[in-house]
Structure 1
Amino acid sequence: MASSEVDQKFLGKLAKAVENDNPLLAQILFKILGLSINLSAQLITARKQRRPETGQGPPVDLDLVFHIIWLSREGLMLLEQYVLPMVGNYVELKVLAYKLRASFLHIIVLFHNTPPVSTMAVSTPENHASTTVPGLPPNRVDKGKGVARDDEDDIQTLEPPRGLEGGPVGPPPGFGLEPPTAFLLKPGDYLPKAHEYFRSAVGLADQLLWGSHSLRLSVKTEYCAFLYECVHDAEGSRRLANATIAEVYNATEGVDDDMFTDACELVAVLTKMGKRGLGSNNTLRSGAQGSGSGTQETPQAEPTIQTTDPTAPPPGMI
Structure 2
Amino acid sequence: MSDSSRNNFTNPSTFILLGIPGLDTAHVWISIPFCVMYVVAILGNIAILFIVKTELSLHEPMYYFFCMLAITDLVLSTVIVPKMLSIFWFNSREIDFSACLTQLYFIQWSLLMESGILMAMAFDRYVAICDPLRYSTILTNSIVAKIGLTVLLRGAILPLPSPLLARQGPYCRTNVIPEPYCSHIGVVSLACADIRVSSYYGLFVLLCVMGLDVFFIALSYTQILRAIFRLPAKNARLKTFGTCGSHICTISAFYIPVLFISFMNRFGRNVPQHFHVLISNLNILMPPMLNPIIYGMRTKQIRDRLLWLFTQKRT
TM range (shorter): 0.3 to 0.5
Normalising by structure 1, report the TM-score. 0.32
Q: TM-score, normalised by structure 2?
A: 0.32
Higher percent of residues as helix: 2
| Structure (1 or 2) with the larger CA radius of gyration | 1
